[in-house]
Amino acid sequence: MPANQRTLQRPVTRAGPGLHLGEEARVTLLPAPPGAGILFARTDLPGSPEIPATEAYAVAGSRHQRRTMLRREEAEVHTVEHLLSAFYGLGVTNARVEIDRAELPGLDGSAQEWVRAIREAGEEDQGVPARHFVLPEAVALTESGVHLAALPQDGEGLTVSYTLDYGTPELGSQFFTARLTPEIYAEQIAPARTFCLSREADALRAAGLGRGANTANTLVIGPSGAPLDNAFRFPDEPVRHKVLDLIGDLALLGVDLRAHVIAIRSGHDTNGALVRRISRLLREREIAGAVEHESRLDIEDIMRILPHRYPFLLVDRVIERVGLHRAVGLKNVTIGDAFFQGHFPTKPIMPGVLQVEALAQLCGVLLMPKLKAEKSLAYLLSLDQCRFRRTVVPGDQLRLEVVTQKLKTRTAQCRGTASVASDVACEATMRFMIVG
């Protein structure tokens, strides 16, 4: 996979009905700055709420939904796995996806049309190292006959091996394995379409699924094992589509995963469980300093950058800083923090305003190269879309992440998220005035 982060060169639009909800949707893929990741925006909702494509916003327990969903507050985006799979397979790390309905278009039921859209838009090397994670140890789970494991492997890249065997005569037993490259993905995986058995179709529709599905965008496999009113693109197209889905779910890690993932009968729910376990391991390794990033700062470095001091310095360590684009920091919350003396003596809770302040301070670290070069300071100007989702108490470690959304001569806008483990505690959009 590419060593540097990549985005699109220009916007591109696709439209069509969603496979499950059946509503006509229009999607525009747009370029995004380094460190932004993949971000969905619901343009049909007030304020065009944004949903990052990360495991923190994935809806868990989607076994009966047959799709991957993201949710933030009241905004949802359904069936994101095919587009995320195409982004990951082609090595696109940063993009904004604007959508005017709840579900992405199903197109032809595969990722092939998304691959064509991305190539139509063109890809741009952003000159910033991509985030990658070399899996240090095995991660495995077994659940109701489903087996899924991620294993360390020699060399770079991601290898995916999948065994499809549901004990059904229509499908039989199928196996596919590949070490992922953009070429292998585009030619051998992306064209594989979603499928169901003909005897399942009525039950799926009764459950409110498959409203936009037909034999043109879904392989409806009959008793003979052949698709109804269609033909296979590959003899083993169903198992290739399961690999496509798995890659889309792994994309929620937000990193180039270097591992061998082996799956037997896995679906979106167990894929998501594996992603959550790998995410926890990734965060632990980041905190321990075992994941390579462009820049790390300890407390002495931070104190040379920020004017804040105890008890108001709220960033203990910076574990990643990528140019002026993205930074990740840590705040260790302890009972010794001065604010717990009054908030509250019998039930200590970190004030939400100080969680926002911690994010703002990390923005100061992120923007410092510009501020130092121009001999300027950044003053917090406004807050927008600020939400508090859980309490933060002594013993928690607050993971702070900020991304620059806009950067002009005299203003800057950043989006920040503070999390404890995999739970979002606070998020806000912050605007700063840059004063010389």
Residue type, 132: H
Alpha-carbon 306 to chain mean position: 30
CB 251 within 8 A of CB 268: no
Selecting among 20, 82, 268, 325, the annotated active-site residue is 268
Which residue(s) pair with 24 in the sheet?
Answer: 17
* 315: its two tokens: 């960033």
Q: What is the pTM of this model?
A: 0.80
Q: What average pLDDT does the structure give for the chain?
A: 92
DSSP 354-386: HHHHHHHHHHHHHHHHHHHHTT-EEEEEEEEEE
DSSP 171-189: T-EEEEEEE--HHHIIIII
Q: In this structure, what DSSP letter does residue 353 have?
A: H
Measured over the CA atoms of residue 108, residue 159, residue 150 and residue 276, the dihedral's sign is negative
Rounded to a whole number of angstroms, the distance between the first and last alpha carbons of the chain is 42
pLDDT for 155:
77
Concerning whether 343 is annotated as a catalytic residue, the answer is yes
Written as tens digits, the pLDDT of the chain (436 aa) is 668 999 999 999 999 999 989 999 999 999 998 888 999 999 999 999 999 999 989 997 644 468 999 999 899 999 999 999 999 999 999 999 999 999 999 999 999 999 999 999 999 999 888 888 999 999 999 988 899 999 999 878 999 999 999 999 999 999 999 999 999 999 999 999 999 999 887 777 777 677 888 998 999 999 999 999 999 999 999 999 999 999 999 999 999 999 999 999 999 999 999 999 999 998 888 777 666 555 789 999 999 999 999 999 999 999 988 878 889 999 999 999 999 999 998 999 999 999 999 999 999 999 988 888 888 889 999 999 999 999 999 999 999 999 998 888 899 999 999 999 888 999 999 999 999 7
Alpha-carbon 67 to chain mean position: 15
pLDDT for 210:
78
Spell out the domain ranges in the chain: 4-287, 299-435
Which residue(s) pair with 14 in the sheet?
Answer: 27
**Pairing of β 24-30 and β 95-99:** antiparallel
Concerning whether 268 is annotated as a catalytic residue, the answer is yes
CB 368 within 8 A of CB 361: no
Q: Report the chain's C-alpha Rg in angstroms.
A: 23
CA distances from 423 to 25, 43, 388, 419 (A): 30, 25, 11, 5
Residue type, 153: Q
Domain spanning 4-287, CATH class? alpha beta
pLDDT for 205:
72
Phi, psi of 84, deg, nearest 5: -60, -35
How far apart, in whole angstroms, are the C-alpha atoms of residue 418 and residue 428? 9
Number of other residues whose CB lies within 10 A of the CB of residue 169: 8
Which CATH number applies to 299-435: 3.10.20.340, 3.10.129.10, 3.30.1300.10, 3.20.20.140? 3.10.129.10
